[in-house]
Amino acid sequence: MRVLHHLWLSPFCRKVRVVLHEKGLAFDMQVEPVWERRVEFLSLNPAGDVPVLVEGDGTTLSGSDAICEFLDEVTPEPPLIGRQPRERAEVRRLVEWFDRKFNAEVTERLVGEKMMKRFLGIGEPDSQAVRAGHINIHHHLEYIGYLMERRSWLAGDTLTLADIAAGAHLSTVDYLGDVPWTDYEGAKDWYARLKSRPSFRPLLADRIPGAPPPKAYADLDF
């Protein structure tokens, strides 16, 4: 059985979990305490981070882009990166938007500061970073709303890796109750559709011991 080595609130791991579900691929999950830098784990991925996917035949993949592109190549249906080069460039542009820009401007400043520092025992959240995260998220919700006025899903007519990446990041921030959905109808409607997909449900069942999410986190009518 294929095994995904992961961490609960990593948006990059969540992205891979949703892709596996959308492709109909069964997998087991194993939490990896990356901060322990275990030798066995470093032999799977010398970068020392998650996600790492070990396929049934032993093929070991790391890097969330590498994993998602691989899965889309070996299991082409349903296509999650589009079919034509231009569509594919638009999907990847938006994946980068969320995995780099949103990640640096929002996820790391909220989830990173409030939750990860606590897990790692490396001190208190930096209040200036947290404040910036709360400000920055508005711009991104607005951008999702802008796209939703023009398209059914972020990159076009169908669900793609762009929606999955965006949803993965937003779901981790939503776990903290830090997404101001009420001000952004377009983004909220889009996220409601994402939440109701079977592939997304397992994320909504995640519970970190000692840090439960607010009720709205798993609520489809939030």
List own/partner pairs for 134-138 with CB under 8 A and 24 or more apart.
134/110, 134/178, 136/105, 136/106, 136/109, 137/106, 137/110, 137/173, 137/178, 137/179, 137/180, 138/180, 138/183, 138/184
CB atoms near residue 146 (< 10 Å): 12
The single residue among 16, 19, 67, 187 that binds a second copy, judged by CB under 8 A, is 67
> What residues from 172 to 191 belong to the interface with a second copy (CB under 8 A)?
none
Rule CB under 8 A: is residue 93 a binding residue for a second copy? yes
| Least distance from a second copy to the Cβ atom of residue 117, Å | 17
| Least distance from a second copy to the Cβ atom of residue 93, Å | 4
HEC-encoded secondary structure of 192-222 = HHHHCCCCCHHHHCCCECCECCCHHHCCCCC
Binding window for a second copy (CB under 8 A); candidates: 30-38, 69-77, 169-177, 202-210 = 69-77
Max Cα separation, the chain?
49
Residue closer to a second copy, measured from CB, 12 or 175: 12
Strand pairing category for 52-54 and 3-6: antiparallel
The single residue among 2, 3, 29, 70 that binds a second copy, judged by CB under 8 A, is 70
Rule CB under 8 A: is residue 88 a binding residue for a second copy? yes
Residue closer to a second copy, measured from CB, 47 or 208: 47
Residue closer to a second copy, measured from CB, 91 or 110: 91
How many alpha carbons lie under 13 Å from residue 41 in its C-beta half-sphere?
Answer: 19
The single residue among 39, 43, 58, 85 that binds a second copy, judged by CB under 8 A, is 85
Site string for a second copy, 131-150 (x = CB under 8 A): ------------x-------
Q: Which residues bind a second copy (CB under 8 A)?
A: 46-47, 49, 59, 61-67, 69-70, 73-74, 85-86, 88-90, 92-93, 95-97, 101, 143
